[in-house]
Structure 1
Amino acid sequence: MPMIPLDSGDGQSDKDVRRRVNAALDGAGRAIERASDGTGVAERLALAVKSSELLSSVWTLPPAQRVMFHPGDRLVDIPADGTPGFPAGKAEGQRFIDLSSGEISRFMGLMYANGVRGSHRRLLIILQGMDASGKGGIVRHIFRQGDPMGIHYHGFGAPSEEELRHDFLWRIKRELPRDGWVAVFDRSHYEDIIMPRVYGTQPESVWRERYDIVNDFERSLVADGCSVIKIFLTINRDFQKGRFLDRLDDPTKRWKFDVSDLDARERWDDYMQAWQEVFERTSTSFAPWYIVPANKRWYSRAVVSELLRTTFTTMNLTWPALSCDEDEARARLSL
């Protein structure tokens, strides 16, 4: 039976809301333990689904609905320091991430096993955002319990000379996930729309036609079994300024700072306008955009974790059956 989402907390004290959130997390934790101890495939999968539903019940409105881009939404109007849909605080959010990341690891193993057996199911996660929006932290925190086998991470910078000799999707296609794998793109083919527009490096006719090319490309991926999650981490200028100053102040973080970050910051409004049109033109039913407030790191990580885990559950995968005669295998092992 589907879990009923927690109330938003209207008319309740913060203490009552946190108690209810922690009760749901306690239930999810117990289901996760039982799933690990279960013997049968059906039992384990049923408990995994239950634990995922309990985790989802923490949200007053599923992130897939709350932060999905809808016609009429304006990027500049979205509060970057908000936590829409999550009724509790950082401590509960971090606990949610810890539990959810473990379940993500379980589902990743399941998808990988199916990929080995010929399934085309795979997942592409696209992370975009202004500098210092936390794209790298998303990867480290959400996948920290995952098996490196089955995860492919790639960051896209300015195209190399070789890449410029090909069409703009050439370098993207080379990094797509294999069957059963998860690929995480830190920046993506959308840079080939944004950058030419903001800096005027290519005629408008060139970058503008890429909207339709990208939509066709992502449609073909989804049709072939590749789920696509597109996330834009939105921060405000004051938050970015603080992050940049942290990098300048801390000798261990100075390697992250580049003067080009300041060039982009000076064109902030141009970037916001460019991304607004990207969302309007490429947020589709098969590959929607999710605009995630990211001033509070724990919140953005919780949202991405929820989006990822629920995407896995909708795949309805089961563990592949043994591909040989079990009795014969056991007989050979007894020799």
Structure 2
Amino acid sequence: MGDATKRNNGGKVSGKAIDKALDKAEQGLAKLDAVHGSDSTASAGERLGQAAKSSALLSSVWSEAPAERLRFGAGWRLDDAIGGTTPGFHGDKADGERFIAISADQIARYQRLLYACGLKGSRRRVLIVLQGMDASGKGSLVRHVFRQGDPMGIHYHGFAAPTAEERAHDFLWRVERELPKPGWIAVFDRSHYEDVVMPRVWGTLPEEEWRPRYERIADFEQALADDGCAIIKIFLAVSREEQRRHFLGRLNDPTKHWKFAMSDLDARDRWDDYMAAWREVFERTSTDAAPWYVVPADNRWYSRAVVSELLRTTIAGMGLDWPGFDADVDVDEVRRRLG
């Protein structure tokens, strides 16, 4: 399991404590299965209560919540987040993967609740923005976090260089077309932030054109939040050495040759420029409505666990209730007609 004991903020978290917390989380999940069983008489409120307890048990695995530990703030340094550290989580890879499996089950349940509420008029929805250098693990993260999710209710979109049609419109035009509908979760692999970072690094637009976009983006995201959209912005902070390892792996694996382009090396050569650009992005656009979380990504199991925790607790914290029957549903009549 790695080190038997690791230290965080003056306290100690043992490997056995991680196992015990995960055991309790699984027990909570079993109770959740019970109250959702076909023969259960539990009310909607009781079912939501058990879901909340189960989620809280899982969150207890963290010595410090990712929403607090990894949020960009004053005095923060990008270099501190890059590498193989796992802030707030003191288990090993096996513990992390066990956490992800349990959390994925709970996310799937909360996703169904979110979707049901959206069908019945709720404006609540979620936008996840994933950014990071090449080979930071954005695509694989989505597969792991949503391994038990329902495709009906999840929208994934990857943003590449703008097309001619997209360049003919305002830079937010293509983003607005991909936003989540009520009840849905949308995942952006890259996003509107490319329209600030790329012009800055490569000089493709004059500064007087791209710099005002910071304020435009902040206003855009505030309006989304005001309309019921929770925004989770993730920067996967991979190290140069870890990126190098993944690039070489792609060269050696014929099933991954398609992932590699010479432009990946061009971006790597401008690493410091990219880091400076992203630092300013965080400073200008990390807000209460749409904070940035900078996640160490050399250990991919850790970054997946972080995003899973952030997503699950975000939906759990919305205070959603299971919608009831439509006004025209007569339960006694339904039972009579079904015999």
TM-score, normalised to structure 1, is: 0.95
1:23 paired residue number: 20
Counterpart check, 1:332 vs 2:337: yes
1:130 positional shift:
0.1
| 1:246-283 deviation per Cα after TM superposition (whole angstroms, max 9, x unaligned) | 00010011111011101100100000000000000000
What residue in structure 2 maps to residue 243 of structure 1? 246
**Partner of 2:217 in structure 1?**
214
CA shift for structure 1 position 322: 1.3
Tell me the equivalent position of 1:155. Answer: 158
Give the AA of the match of 1:240. Q
Q: Secondary structure at the match of 1:132?
A: coil
Q: Does 1:107 align with 2:125?
A: no
Distance 2:52 2:134 in 1: 36
The equivalent position to 2:187 in structure 1, one of 161, 184, 189, is 184
AA aligned opposite 2:332: D
1:43 Cα offset (Å): 1.9
The answer as to whether partners of 2:123 and 2:228 remain within 8 angstroms in 1 is yes
2:184 and 2:45 map into 1 onto residues whose CA distance is 23
> What SS does the aligned partner of 2:254 have?
coil
- Shift in alpha-carbon separation, 1:94–1:114, aligned structure 2, 3 A: same
User: Which amino acid is 1:122 matched to?
Assistant: R
Q: Does the alignment pair 1:34 with 2:34?
A: no
2:291 matched to 1:294?
no
The answer to which of 70-79 and 222-231 deviates more is 70-79
> Within 5 A, what are the aligned runs for 1:221-240?
221-240=224-243
Taking the aligned partners of 1:8 and 1:100, their CA distance within structure 2 comes to 23
The answer as to 2:271 corresponding to 1:268 is yes
Q: Which amino acid aligns with 1:283?
A: S
1:139 aligns with 2:136: no
Cα separation, partners in 2 of 1:268 and 1:7, compared to 1, 3 Å: closer
* 1:78 CA drift (Å): 2.3
* Aligned equivalents of 2:198, 2:210: Cα separation in 1: 9
Q: Report the alpha carbon displacement of residue 7 of structure 1 after superposing the two structures with TM.
A: 8.0
Relative distance call for 1:11 and 1:211 in structure 2 (3 A) is closer
For 1:86, the equivalent position in structure 2 comes to 89
1:8: Cα distance to partner? Answer: 4.2
* Letter of the 2:246 counterpart: R
Local SS of the residue matching 1:284: coil
Quote the offset at 1:26 in angstroms. Answer: 0.9
State which drifts further: 16-25 or 145-154: 16-25
Query: Runs of 5+ in structure 2 lacking a partner?
Result: 1-5
Between the aligned partners of 1:109 and 1:187, the Cα distance in structure 2 is: 26
What are the superposed Cα offsets for residues 54-73 of structure 1, whole Å, 9 maximum, x if unpaired? 11111110000000000221
Following superposition, the deviation at residue 47 of structure 1 comes to: 1.1
Task: Give the Å deviation of 1:190.
Answer: 0.2
SS of 1:131's partner is coil
Match of 1:174 in 2: 177
Report SS of the residue matched to 1:252. Answer: helix
Distance 1:144 1:9 in 2: 33
Partner of 1:197: 200
CA distance in 1 between partners of 2:50 and 2:156 (Å):
30
| Paired amino acid for 1:176 | L
Would the alpha carbon gap of residues 284 and 60 (structure 1) be closer, same or farther in structure 2, given more than 3 Å must change?
same
8 A Cα contact 2:15 2:91, kept in partner? yes
Pick one of 45, 49, 73 that aligns with 1:46.
Answer: 49
Contact 2:82 2:298 in 1 (8 A): no
1:62-101 deviation digits (Å, cap 9, x = unpaired): 0000000002212123242110000111111110000001
Alignment partners' CA distance in 1, 2:100 and 2:7: 20
User: How far apart are 1:331 and its partner, in Å?
Assistant: 2.0
Residues 82, 297 of structure 2: 8 Å contact kept = no
Residue 254 of structure 1 corresponds to 257
**TM-score under structure 2 normalisation?**
0.94
What is the Cα deviation at residue 9 of structure 1? 9.5
